[in-house]
């Protein structure tokens, strides 16, 4: 089989070895995941501001497409909380442009899918690396808070929108008098029940003597139970007439063929949100995929993952969905339930399609408060402030990046939050590497080792200045070196030789090369020779393509010891140190 085809179609790899045992493992996993996904899909569509069926549709075609193109054997693709929140924020802006909400969500999925595919084909998956862990952790925590807060309106039975924490809290406060008691009872009850399902149900079932597996499946069915009970209550007591908002009529059909709106204005409004959703979705998805793959020593190809997720999103755009990605909770459930290949996903899709066709009339009376409760309980597990403590202990710069991401996300929204976090963490990194550690070194007596004169008792020669730079030389720190060296020389008139010890320099870029050339000229004007020592092979190869080595007033020494031995005179040496 031609390699390019196998690269782009991992299904050709695992499909050949498919047999009865993998089939039965996949089928079991699919049943469990389907039960879990039905209420979750409906709920996340609500969070995204879309009709509930959009959540089901977004779980069908995307799962099938990921099964063909993706490399993870356990990843479950579909609507997830954070991306749903980002969709609501993005589409909320775009609708001001006069395009329908659902159509704009399709366009967002198409844009996001197109970007992911492009990144995958160009093998640019590495750009996701620029989201640092602290930024992701801060963003997920803040998103969890925003999502939970956004659902309080459904629990309270009031209408209070907004995409930032102050907006949401303000709106809730303004409507505090209009709380609907029946809605609140259902919402609070469902929330309490679901928390108990998470915490206390499984131990209780085990104590009642159920086997581990069955207890696990029943726990996962907890949200379905909440849905069934509250739907029944509303229907039986006619609560929809008493102000309890219900899901209402949902079309009973397979995912429809839809065409995203392709208005230029809309596309330019949604381009940045789509890029952010793509990156965040990709990072979330690949983290999950790698975690699960590593447990079985399997391998994830990040660039092929981009193609898998891109195809899933394009699929969502044409089948009435909205942006999707690989979800953490569902993938872990899928993995734990024994899913052996992406076929488990395909079976899940079939289960959800069956639900979309047959079960939708049954959820007419499903209260939105129950769905909100499902979301709140799910996302509160995302909120984790310990990252702040850990980052603080380890590094102030990383702490600043987390804190800024959390505060900006809460205060100004998801897009501003991610952007601020990325900009700040890259800025801090650049800042740190623009001020490298430079050590003035001297000879440790009796050895051929050179150490920092501030930390060790060493021999120096007043006419020979030896500097070790602990960083590659590039444009952001080139001037630092120049400033440092000229400052050092302005203080000390005795120096006749400067030796740059290059053992920690992995690269010298063109700016740094020019700086070295300038330093060489300036030192020459002052009657000082510039030498290099311990230059690494690849750095030396590159320097040979420049004029520096010809113009150098001093020499290139293989080792710092050789430089010292040649330039320093025993009579001038003196011992210095802390």
Residues that bind a second copy (CB under 8 A): 126, 128-134, 290-291, 293-295, 297-299, 302, 390-391, 393-395, 397-398, 425-426, 429-437, 470-472, 474-480, 482-483, 486-487, 489-490, 493, 504, 506-507, 509-511, 513-515, 518, 522, 525-526, 538, 542, 545-546
List the structure tokens of 528. 């000082």
Please report how close the Cβ of residue 515 comes to a second copy at its closest, in angstroms. Answer: 8
Please report how close the Cβ of residue 302 comes to a second copy at its closest, in angstroms. Answer: 7
Please report how close the Cβ of residue 68 comes to a second copy at its closest, in angstroms. Answer: 22
Please report how close the Cβ of residue 284 comes to a second copy at its closest, in angstroms. Answer: 13
- By beta-carbon proximity to a second copy, the closer residue of 132 and 269 is 132
- By beta-carbon proximity to a second copy, the closer residue of 229 and 504 is 504
- By beta-carbon proximity to a second copy, the closer residue of 488 and 573 is 488
Cα dihedral 247/249/253/259 (nearest 10): -80
Please report how close the Cβ of residue 332 comes to a second copy at its closest, in angstroms. Answer: 15
CB atoms within 10 A of CB 208: 8
- By beta-carbon proximity to a second copy, the closer residue of 198 and 451 is 451
Rounded to whole angstroms, the Cα distance separating 360 from 348 reads 17
- By beta-carbon proximity to a second copy, the closer residue of 354 and 431 is 431
Please report how close the Cβ of residue 507 comes to a second copy at its closest, in angstroms. Answer: 7
With CA atoms as reference, report the closest residue to 321 among 99, 161, 149, 113.
Answer: 113
Please report how close the Cβ of residue 387 comes to a second copy at its closest, in angstroms. Answer: 9
Q: What are phi and psi of 531, to 5 degrees?
A: -120, 155
Rounded to whole angstroms, the Cα distance separating 132 from 151 reads 29
CB atoms within 10 A of CB 449: 13
Please report how close the Cβ of residue 322 comes to a second copy at its closest, in angstroms. Answer: 27
CB atoms within 10 A of CB 558: 10
Please report how close the Cβ of residue 475 comes to a second copy at its closest, in angstroms. Answer: 3
Rounded to whole angstroms, the Cα distance separating 503 from 500 reads 9
Do β-strands 325-326 and 77-78 pair in parallel, antiparallel, or remain unpaired?
antiparallel
Rounded to whole angstroms, the Cα distance separating 494 from 47 reads 72
List the structure tokens of 542. 């590159």
CB atoms within 10 A of CB 101: 15
Please report how close the Cβ of residue 340 comes to a second copy at its closest, in angstroms. Answer: 17
- By beta-carbon proximity to a second copy, the closer residue of 219 and 291 is 291
- By beta-carbon proximity to a second copy, the closer residue of 297 and 574 is 297
Please report how close the Cβ of residue 142 comes to a second copy at its closest, in angstroms. Answer: 17
Please report how close the Cβ of residue 457 comes to a second copy at its closest, in angstroms. Answer: 17
Taken in order 58, 59, 64, 65, is the CA torsion positive or negative?
positive
- By beta-carbon proximity to a second copy, the closer residue of 170 and 492 is 492
List the structure tokens of 516. 């070295």
Distance linking the first and last C-alpha atoms of the chain: 68
Rounded to whole angstroms, the Cα distance separating 404 from 452 reads 36
Phi-psi group of 275: left, alpha or beta (phi > 0 → left; psi -120 to 50 → alpha; rest → beta): alpha
- By beta-carbon proximity to a second copy, the closer residue of 53 and 398 is 398
Rounded to whole angstroms, the Cα distance separating 277 from 16 reads 34
- By beta-carbon proximity to a second copy, the closer residue of 360 and 425 is 425
- By beta-carbon proximity to a second copy, the closer residue of 16 and 545 is 545
Residue 333, CA atoms < 13 Å, CB-side half-sphere: 25
With CA atoms as reference, report the closest residue to 55 among 334, 418, 279, 363.
Answer: 363
CB atoms within 10 A of CB 256: 11
- By beta-carbon proximity to a second copy, the closer residue of 131 and 498 is 131
Q: Report whether 134 contacts 338 (CB < 8 A).
A: no
CA 483 to each of CA 435, 439, 505, 559: distance values in angstroms, whole numbers, following the listed order: 11, 14, 18, 25
Residue 144, CA atoms < 13 Å, CB-side half-sphere: 15
- By beta-carbon proximity to a second copy, the closer residue of 131 and 160 is 131
List the structure tokens of 249. 């009529």
Please report how close the Cβ of residue 380 comes to a second copy at its closest, in angstroms. Answer: 22
Please report how close the Cβ of residue 136 comes to a second copy at its closest, in angstroms. Answer: 9
List the structure tokens of 478. 């080139």
- By beta-carbon proximity to a second copy, the closer residue of 242 and 299 is 299
List the structure tokens of 33. 């995941």
With CA atoms as reference, report the closest residue to 436 among 475, 489, 492.
Answer: 475
């Amino acid at each position: 089989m031609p390699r390019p085809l196998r690269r782009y179609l991992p299904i050709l790899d695992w499909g050949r070895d498919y047999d009865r045992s993998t089939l039965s493992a996949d089928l079991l996993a699919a049943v469990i995941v389907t039960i879990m996904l039905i209420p979750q899909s409906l709920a996340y569509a609500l969070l995204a501001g879309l009709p509930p069926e959009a959540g089901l549709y977004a779980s069908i075609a995307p799962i099938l497409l990921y099964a063909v193109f993706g490399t993870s054997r356990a990843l479950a693709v579909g609507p997830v909380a954070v991306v749903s929140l980002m969709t609501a924020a993005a589409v909320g802006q775009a609708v001001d442009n006069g395009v329908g909400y659902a159509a704009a969500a399709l366009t967002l999925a198409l844009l996001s899918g197109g970007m992911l595919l492009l990144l995958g084909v160009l093998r640019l998956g590495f750009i996701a690396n620029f989201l640092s862990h602290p930024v992701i952790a801060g963003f997920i925590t803040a998103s969890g808070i925003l999502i939970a807060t956004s659902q309080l309106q459904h629990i309270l039975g009031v209408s209070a929108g907004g995409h930032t924490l102050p907006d949401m809290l303000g709106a809730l406060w303004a409507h505090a008098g209009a709380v609907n008691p029946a809605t609140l009872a259902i919402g609070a009850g469902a929330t309490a029940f679901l928390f108990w399902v998470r915490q206390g149900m499984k131990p209780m079932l085990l104590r009642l003597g159920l086997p581990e597996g069955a207890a696990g499946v029943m726990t996962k069915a907890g949200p379905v139970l909440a849905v069934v009970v509250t739907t029944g209550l509303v229907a039986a007591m006619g609560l929809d007439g008493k102000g309890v908002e219900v899901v209402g009529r949902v079309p009973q059909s397979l995912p429809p063929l839809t065409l995203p709106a392709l208005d230029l204005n809309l596309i330019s409004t949604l381009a940045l949100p789509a890029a952010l959703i793509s990156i965040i979705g990709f990072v979330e998805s690949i983290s999950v995929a790698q975690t699960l793959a590593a447990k079985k020593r399997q391998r994830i190809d990040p660039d092929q993952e981009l193609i898998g997720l891109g195809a899933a999103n394009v699929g969502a755009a044409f089948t009435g969905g909205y942006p999707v990605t690989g979800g953490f909770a569902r993938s872990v459930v899928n993995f734990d339930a024994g899913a052996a290949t992406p076929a488990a996903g395909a079976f899940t899709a079939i289960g959800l399609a069956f639900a979309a066709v047959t079960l939708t009339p049954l959820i007419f009376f499903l209260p939105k408060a129950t769905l909100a409760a499902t979301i709140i309980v799910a996302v509160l597990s995302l909120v984790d402030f310990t990252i702040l403590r850990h980052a603080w202990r380890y590094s102030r710069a990383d702490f600043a990046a987390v804190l800024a991401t959390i505060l900006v996300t809460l205060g100004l929204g998801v897009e501003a939050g991610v952007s601020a976090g990325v900009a700040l963490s890259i800025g801090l990194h650049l800042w740190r590497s623009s001020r490298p550690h430079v050590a003035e070194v001297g000879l440790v007596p009796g050895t051929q080792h050179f150490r920092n004169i501030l930390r060790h008792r060493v021999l120096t020669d007043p006419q020979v200045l030896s500097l070790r730079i602990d960083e590659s030389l590039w444009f952001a720190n080139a001037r630092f070196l120049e400033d440092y060296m000229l400052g050092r020389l302005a203080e000390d008139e005795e120096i006749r030789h400067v030796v740059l010890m290059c053992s920690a320099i992995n690269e010298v870029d063109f700016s740094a090369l020019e700086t070295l050339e300038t330093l060489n000229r300036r030192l020459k004007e002052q009657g000082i020779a510039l030498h290099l020592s311990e230059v690494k092979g690849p750095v030396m190869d590159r320097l040979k393509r420049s004029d520096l080595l010809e113009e150098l007033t001093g020499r290139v020494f293989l080792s710092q010891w050789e430089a010292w031995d040649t330039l320093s005179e025993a009579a001038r040496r003196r011992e210095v140190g802390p």
